[in-house]
Chains A and B, each alone.
Chain A
Amino acid sequence: MKAMEKQSVTHHTYVIERSYPTTPERVFAAFSDPAKKRRWYATGGSSDVEEFEMDFRVGGNERTVRRFKPGSPFPGVALINLTNYQDIVPGQRVVIAYTMALGEKRISASLATFEFSPTEAGAKLTFTEQAAFFEGADGPQMREQGWRIILESLATDLARS
């Protein structure tokens, strides 16, 4: 019998800052308008958007389901984000609590804060995520399998040159 996998939680906090040549109000609008938010938040990357619905008010929920494309590290696997809006101050901040799940397994639970402030050049966005990552999920094994597929195609490309 395989040794029992160690289950643990690791906490991480990190900050990302961005400056945009526009007003904090316009940046905020990209968070409050579902069509705008879907464009920058849900689309892009190595997955297709299957569901995106949001209820932008304190206590409101947001649900995003994406599915990894073939050739990505987790082909065919669903990536599910469940978000709850904790605090909203128009033009100033949005605070969310969210979980992320890969297939059936939850990877993390986080508190994320978006702060908008005016600068001489426009608007500054400060994003702070305080996350609890759950180890023992089967993500690493799936990732390894996905990597193998990608690297095999890369090796094939290299061999052709």
Chain B
Amino acid sequence: MKTIAFALLLLATAPVQAQATYEQLMNVKFTDRSCSMIDQWVTWTETQLRLKGLLGVDPEKMSNEDRLYNVRARSIIWALRIGCSNPDRYK
């Protein structure tokens, strides 16, 4: 419940464009219900990457810290894209 509340809080603050920390990204969790907001989630996560200057950057050219941030953000994006399009995949 806490994680959902945290996730909703993150989305609610999205227009402010405060960059999420790596720890905050690590705390983002999803449920089946998250799929109804997949577009907002993907946009929000891509915004975090853009704010950090990591959108479209080759991962081989990133610092270790940026690489971890990038992995977490892209894992969120693809977990949503894959999970929401293939609901039986992880059952």
A, B co-complexed: no
Q: State the B residues within 8 Å of A (CB).
A: none
